[in-house]
Structure 1
Amino acid sequence: MAPTLGMKFTNPTELKQCLTNYAVKHGYDLWYEKNDKNRLLVKCCKGKEPTCPFRLWASWMQEERTFQIKSLKSSHNCGRVYKIGLVNYKWIGKQYFNVLLENPRLSLRKMKAQISSTYNIIVSIGQCRNAKKFALSEIEGTLKEHYSRLWDYGIEIKRANPGSTVEGCRQIIGIDGCFLKGICKGELLAAVGRDANNSMFPLAWDVVTVENKDTWKWFLDLLMDDIDRGSGNGLTLISDGHKLTKKGFLMLSTDYVLGTY
């Protein structure tokens, strides 16, 4: 959207976002001559000849709390540039929020190439690196905020749909085994849990001659007895993809079914 005289914004940041989008779309080399919380003076092509006539002035309105464009010379006589000064890592991160949500392992070089192809601008690997960190931190924060509202969501389900059942988070135990090398051979079986601070702590461990169905059943039977959970009802056991895995699950006995991750 091109800026127009009298256009109103919630704050200067919102106007800057609009100006960056405008600069990227047309390849204008905009820059801020004055830039603070109360005023914004924007010009084009700093230090270049001939001087571009574009000029935008914005400040807060007196009678309402909105940031307004109060004077504007919208014409340009400059050519397209491909390195836009207004483009920073936060702008890139916001554009790539959904892309990185679906593919957080997108490489910086591919990201740089995609930006060049999509927006017809040049950005650096450093900008892409910072943009990726920014976007992933925003994604993590958003997910934490959503998960923090699960209890409110559960209460609303019960209110709006009487008879519904809403369960809390199930207690989880992670189990795994590894080879022991050196003088003492064998397999180390271990079970870990998470405390209220989301920190892992060991529940049990043992050394066996081989990792198989029988040794795992023996280990888990002792673990259930020690923590007084009987057949393990109410517990979620998570394991890696063990070689005994069949169709996504590892059946150790009629009592335990381990979901793989």
Structure 2
Amino acid sequence: MCREYEFKVGLEFKTLSQFKDAIKEHALLNRRDVRYKKNDKLRCRVVCKGQKGKCKWICFASKVGGFDCFRIKTLKGKHTCGRSYSGRLASSEWILKKIINNISCGEEMRLATVIQTIQDKYMANVSVGKTYWARRNAMEEVHGRAIQQYAKLRDYCVEILRANPGS
């Protein structure tokens, strides 16, 4: 997604979480502060939190009857508020999704590098604590996979010996 992308009424998403992720990504790219006003399994209303409620931007998506998708049904106005650099929407899970590819490629990412990467692309101020947990969980996910693979190595050797005696 890029900064210039605009949501339109009728845009469909496979799941509600996909809609929320798209809204979060768009808000962070465009430095907006949004919140979920009405949020349940069938619908989600997102409003702008900027300028103490003066901004009238609203986006509402709900489940389409008879289908397993969610559609934007209401999209009101453009943002009239100023930019927000708080990074409140940038959760540790979101940061993890942004850095896991770099870590899986073997890149050594220090906390300062992760924070700088997020600030460069999204201009969001993220805390050291969020960054620490995101990097730690990403390392566990990447290296945990390797540890699980090494645990299967003995079974692989036994299978080779069974299938090809004398190996």
| TM-score, length-scaled by structure 1 | 0.52
Partner of 1:33: 37
Q: Which residue of 2 aligns with 1:100?
A: 103
In structure 2, runs of 5+ residues without a counterpart are 159-165
Give the distance between the partners of 1:32 and 1:66, measured in 2 at CA: 19
Q: Within 5 Å, which residues of 2 pair with 1:231-246?
A: none
**Which residue identity is paired with 2:84?**
V
Aligned partners of 1:3, 1:147: CA distance in 2, in Å? Answer: 45
Structure 2 SS opposite 1:96: helix
Aligned length: 154
Cα offset, 1:103, TM superposition: 4.0
- Provide the secondary structure at the position in 1 that maps to 2:114: helix
Q: Which amino acid in structure 1 is aligned with residue 91 of structure 2?
A: N
Superposed displacement of residue 77, structure 1: 0.5
Give how far 1:24 is off: 1.4
Kept in 2: contact 1:41–1:58 (CA 8 A): yes
Give 1:110's match in structure 2, choosing from 106, 109, 113.
113
| Structure 2 residue corresponding to 1:134, chosen from 129, 134, 137 | 137
Per the alignment, residue 163 of structure 2 pairs with: none
Separation in 2, partners of 1:9, 1:45: 23
* Residues 56, 80 of structure 2: 8 Å contact kept: yes
TM-score (norm 2): 0.78
Larger radius of gyration: 1
Residue 24 of structure 2 corresponds to residue 20 of structure 1: yes
Q: CA distance change for structure 1 residues 64 and 140 in 2, over 3 Å: closer, same or farther?
A: farther
**Aligned partners of 1:54 and 1:102: how far apart in 2?**
39
Q: Say whether residues 1:125 and 2:128 are aligned partners.
A: yes
> Is residue 27–residue 81 contact of structure 1 (8 Å, CA) maintained in 2?
yes
Q: Which has the higher contact order (CA 8 A, sep 6+)?
A: 2
CA RMSD between the two structures: 2.9
**CA distance in structure 1 between the aligned counterparts of 2:100 and 2:147, rounded to whole angstroms:** 16
* CA distance in structure 2 between the partners assigned to 1:52 and 1:142 by the alignment: 45
SS at match of 2:61: strand
Partner of 1:8: 12
Q: Distance in 1 between matches of 2:9 and 2:148?
A: 38
| Structure 2: distance between partners of 1:22 and 1:104 | 27
Summarize deviations over 1:79-104 as a string: whole Å, max 9, x none: 11111332211111111111122346
Q: Percent identity?
A: 29
Equivalent residue, structure 1, for 2:87: 84
Structure ranking higher in strand proportion: 1
How far apart, CA to CA, are the structure 2 residues paired with 1:64 and 1:144?
41
The CA distance in 1 between the partners of 2:23 and 2:6, in whole Å, is 8
Stretches of structure 1 lacking an aligned partner (at least 5 in a row): 151-167, 171-232, 235-261
**Amino acid in the other structure paired with 1:75:** K
1-side partners of 2:37 and 2:149: how far apart?
40
Could you say which structure has the higher helix fraction? 2
